[in-house]
Amino acid sequence: MTEKDQTYWDAVVAAVQRGDVDRFREVVMEFQDSMRFAVAFHVRGNANLIDEIVHRAFIRAYRALDRFELGKPLGPWLKQIARNEALKEVRTLCRQARLKSQFLQAAVAEARTDLEPPVDQLARLRQCIDNLQLHARKMVRMRYFDKMSFDAMAETLGRTAGALRVAMLGIRRSLKTCVEGNGGR
């Protein structure tokens, strides 16, 4: 800044300090681009967020202008306020990202827990399978433990795949009733 520039900005700041709010518009018009640049260094890629931070920085600067020491350069003081606001925003965004990550991890863990049947249900299911008739137990073993297709089961058991599907539907209903009911007794 030249000496004339310093004198000019001292006069503008003094006028704003005395209550001439309209003169602050000159400060905004002159320094908004350099403040955007100072903020953009910390908050990349989001023009709306940059403008919001610069706006907040100007509000902070206006409120603190009565403490500004005349004779000192105004630009660096404003840019430091803008940098501080940007860093505060970055800390807030990082904190929010950590919280979201923790929430998502907890939600995933909870969802996994909900997908796993309780141990007592597994025990009841085993008991219910043991109580099935021999041919039904064999079909459950082939389908769910040996992971055989209905076609492969049909070939082994000498029945049609369609008949096995219908039979398996009945077995599953029976197992569901057993597990939800008295545990196979």
Domains and CATH numbers, the chain: 3-113 (1.10.1740.10), 119-180 (1.10.10.10)
pLDDT in tens, the chain (185 residues): 445 588 999 999 999 999 999 999 999 999 999 999 989 988 877 889 999 999 999 999 999 999 999 999 999 999 999 999 999 999 998 888 888 888 888 777 777 665 656 667 888 888 999 999 999 999 999 998 999 999 999 999 999 999 999 999 999 999 989 988 854 44
Contact 170, 141 (CB under 8 A): no
- Whether the model clears a pTM of 0.75, i.e. scores above it, the answer is no
3-state DSSP assignment of residue 130: helix
- Spatial distance between the Cα atoms of 58 and 31, rounded to a whole number of angstroms: 10
* 49 exposure class (CB count in 10 Å sphere: 0-12, 13-18, 19+): middle
- Spatial distance between the Cα atoms of 123 and 34, rounded to a whole number of angstroms: 69
